[in-house]
Amino acid sequence: MQIVSVSSLKGGVGKSSVTLGLASAALQAGVPTLVVDLDPHADATTGLGVQPQRGHDIGEVLRRPRRGSLERVVVASSWAVRDGQDTRALDVAPGSARSSHLDRSDYRGKDLGRLERALSGATGYELVLVDCPPTLSALTRTAWAASDKVLSVAEPSLFSVAGTKRTMTAIAQFEQSRTWSVPAAGVVVNKVQHASVEHRHRLAELQDLFGPLLVTPVIPDLPVWQQAQGAAWPIHRWPGAEARDISGRYSAILRGLLDGSA
């Protein structure tokens, strides 16, 4: 089971969108996947067509994490249910504002093992995607501590490039811990407008900064992506050439994650 955190220390770059794109690719490829929504805004939960019941969300699990505690809150995404697939094809540990009690800057080191303990009893999944809050506090660090890889999401803009540098620096500092470390990290570039001179400039800047850590292909900024998310529908099931283009890109990134090349 590979655990991948999707992070950014700058809001608005489409972090949850990238999580949903990878989840869609996993569903299409038949990779049993669990999405853990650690962001108190719970956008990934909404996009996956899940309405969490009170007391049945990841925040409640992290209050008293133990082996097997995750199973009582996990539900099937409506994406898998609508397609008539095995309900374990794409499951969700729903997010909610109740997880914000852990999203603070002051925390004890032992608190960082909460998600790892909760995931220790999870079975039947090849991939776990963790959608992190856009902050560097306890919840994000808890996700990193449990992860095999962290994907930092960027967009080709001045402020996002700076935010990505902060994220990657924070990951490098986190790796210096004797207790917790992130085995691998990468940068996914989202919302790219290839016709924009500014975007091409920022893409070159990101390449210079992060080199082989930059994940390919990049994700273009196309209206069809917002349409699919608004309908809480997997992009791989959405009709049209633009949807096929985005779907193919997410499938390529997923293959890189699973074979270790991304």
DSSP bridge pairs for 147: none
pLDDT at res. 261: 67
For 2-259, CATH gives 3.40.50.300
Cα(13)–Cα(21) distance, integer angstroms: 14
∠ CA 97-13-171 to the nearest 5 degrees? 80
For the chain, list the strands marked E by DSSP: 2-7, 33-37, 75-76, 90-93, 127-131, 149-154, 184-189
- pTM (2 d.p.): 0.93
User: Which residue from 243, 260, 242, 236 is spatially nearest to 22, judged by alpha carbons?
Assistant: 236
Ranges of residues in the chain with a pLDDT under 70 are 81-88, 103-108, 175-180, 261-262
pLDDT at res. 60: 86
pLDDT at res. 131: 97
Give the domain ranges of the chain: 2-259
pLDDT at res. 105: 61
